[in-house]
Amino acid sequence: QAQRAYNFNAGPSALPLAVLEKAQQELVDFKGTGMSVMELSHRSAAYEQVHNQAIASLKELMGIPEEYHVLFLQGGASTQFAMIPMNFLPQGKKAGYVVTGSWSEKALKEAKMFGDTYTIASTKETNHNRIPKLDELAYEENTAYVHVTSNNTIFGTEWFTFPDTGDLPLIADMSSDILSHPIDASKFAMIYAGAQKNLGPSGVTVAIVRPDMLERANENVPTMLRYDTHVKNNSLYNTPPTFGIYMLGLVLEWAKEQGGLAGIEKMNREKAALIYDAIDQSEGFYKGHAEKDSRSLMNITFRLASEELEKEFLAEAKQAGFVGLNGHRSVGGCRASTYNAVPYETCKALSEFMINFQKKNA
């Protein structure tokens, strides 16, 4: 049995052990082809099967309407920050962004390079410790689309109820919570995510696009940066990240075995509760960054009384085998990323460590 770390990395992050073992089994001879998936032509039947199965599995798991396009792109979610306005922000219209953290800020910054934008709401004033209430959101006339970041990886907040934007296309960066709980995919004109948290290894970016978005897309966009290029070619216009897509497919099969997104949400709630309870029952020894009703199930951010104590906590945690607990510099303190593949036992071990550390240091 492999010695697995208590991995709380924010991304790339833990993958299911069963997935890694399956990939290991198939590494040098994939289904009798005499080669690794990495060595297959992306035009071969064996690869095409992997590719199309991954698309079908994602549609099934997320309940994505049949007509939507599922694309496998490269360049990370960061490239989507630019591709979205390049394609979907025409002259004379404005793109609206809800700014709930550093990633939304970055998405907005890219959009500004291509057209008019506005901030629908921002939580910057309180260092992004909450998700805006739906009644704080007001849309201006001539809005091309509304952009939200469904989970704020750095600050540890997450949307559970999305705004009803009516006819305005709703676009969500779901990089850090895709596949973590059921959503109504039909509410979204587009969903995108870098794969390296809940979907698989880094190098694949998933984009899910409603067909009518392509009809209104801008014309003068370079070939590789146009969504319709990838739609027309089933994400095989050029060489896709084949091994990453294969891994993604294995993760999706694993997700089905966990009872789909409902089963996964149940596990995620139990895992997060272990750590949030340790915070809430600490009588202020640990202070959560996010307001309770905005708390992320994926990234749990908390502080201790002083930076000194935080240093000690992190050093002892490291000694005890915990990886990735340092908070991002813009929040400080600690962050435990409890993505789908982080086992319950790993979260249990952290909550016990937290309780013991408090006993020793309170």
**Residues labelled as active-site residues:** 103, 173, 197
- Whole-number Å distance between alpha carbons of 234 and 243: 17
CB 282 within 8 A of CB 303: no
Q: Minimum CB separation from ligand PMP for residue 328, in Å?
A: 9
Tell me the torsion sign for CA atoms 196, 198, 199, 205: negative
Query: If binding is defined by CB under 6 A, does position 76 make contact with ligand PMP?
Result: yes
Closest approach of ligand PMP to the CB of residue 136, in Å: 20
Residue 211: count of CB within 10 angstroms of its CB? 12
Q: Give the one residue of 85, 96, 156, 194 binding ligand PMP; rule: CB under 6 A.
A: 194
Residue (193 or 317) nearer to ligand PMP, CB = 193
For CA atoms 99, 101, 107, 108, give the dihedral sign.
positive
Contact status: 288 vs ligand PMP (CB under 6 A): no
Q: Does 110 bind ligand PMP (CB under 6 A)?
A: no
CA distances from 246 to 27, 52, 62, 206, 256 (A): 11, 10, 18, 13, 16
CA pair distance 118, 135, nearest whole angstrom: 17
> Tokens 């698309």 correspond to what residue?
55
Does 11 sit near ligand PMP (CB under 6 A)? yes
By CB under 6 A, the residues from 152 to 171 that bind ligand PMP are 153
**DSSP track, 59-79:** HHHHT--TTSEEEEESSHHHH
Residue 17 and residue 106: Cα distance in Å, rounded?
A: 33
| Listed ranges 172-180, 215-223, 309-317, 326-334: which one lies at the site for ligand PMP (CB under 6 A) | 172-180
Amino acid letter, 87? N
Q: Check the annotation: does 153 bind a ligand.
A: yes
Least distance from C-beta 82 to ligand PMP, angstroms?
11
Contact call for residue 78 and ligand PMP (CB under 6 A): yes
Name which of 73 and 304 has its Cβ closer to ligand PMP: 73
152 is in an annotated binding site: no
* By the rule CB under 6 A, 296 interacts with ligand PMP: no
Exactly one of 158, 173, 265, 310 binds ligand PMP (CB under 6 A); that residue is 173
Which CB sits closer to ligand PMP, 321 or 332? 332
Closest CB to ligand PMP among 58 and 304? 58
CB of 362 to ligand PMP, least distance (A): 33
- One residue of 175, 235, 294, 346 binding ligand PMP per CB under 6 A: 175
Sequence-ordered strand ranges (E) for the chain:
6-7, 69-73, 94-99, 116-122, 143-149, 151-152, 157-158, 170-173, 190-194, 205-209, 287-288, 299-303, 322-323, 334-337
Of 73-81, 182-190, 270-278, 290-298, which part binds ligand PMP (CB under 6 A)?
73-81
**Least distance (Å) from ligand PMP to the CB of residue 84?**
12
235 is in an annotated binding site: no
Is 43 annotated to bind a ligand? Reply is yes
CB of 146 to ligand PMP, least distance (A): 16
- 78 marked among binding-site residues: yes
Q: Contact 357/318 with Cβ under 8 angstroms?
A: no
What is the enclosing helix (H) or strand (E) of 55? helix 45-62
Provide the CA 18 distance to its chain's centre, in angstroms: 21
Which positions make up the binding site for L-glutamate? 43
The site for ligand PMP (CB under 6 A) is made up of 11, 76-78, 103, 149, 153, 173, 175-176, 194
